[in-house]
Amino acid sequence: MSDKENEWICTDPSCNQYRKDISSAIFAFKEDRIINPETKESEKYESIIDINDYTWDEIINACGSFGYNAKQVDKWLTEGEELALIAECLFELES
């Protein structure tokens, strides 16, 4: 495994969110999630996102929540592009 495959990439510094590419369709994420909005108390949240575990509709809906249209996301899926961005949308909607 190369050093690049072991790297965590900061995807959102505002919540200390990082992504690690495990394979072309599997990504690890971690971030600080606020558990008490009044006190700003947070805890580390981690998840593995395998795009293959989601239906087309689930992916379209998740990405649509962030302003990406279905045609654009379908093109990404068909051409194997922006899979990390798709995984990030899925991760951000997890509880």
Could you read off the pLDDT of 12-28 as tens digits, one per residue?
Answer: 999 999 999 999 999 99
E strand spans, the chain: 9-12, 17-21, 26-36, 41-50
Q: Which residues contact 35 (CB under 8 A, 6 or more apart)?
A: 41, 42, 43
Could you read off the pLDDT of 67-95 as tens digits, one per residue?
Answer: 999 999 999 999 999 999 999 999 999 97
What pLDDT was estimated at residue 4?
55
Question: CA triplet 18, 76, 70: central angle to 5 degrees?
Answer: 105
> What's the pTM?
0.88
C-beta atoms surrounding 44 within 10 Å: 9
Domain coordinates of the chain in residue numbers?
4-92
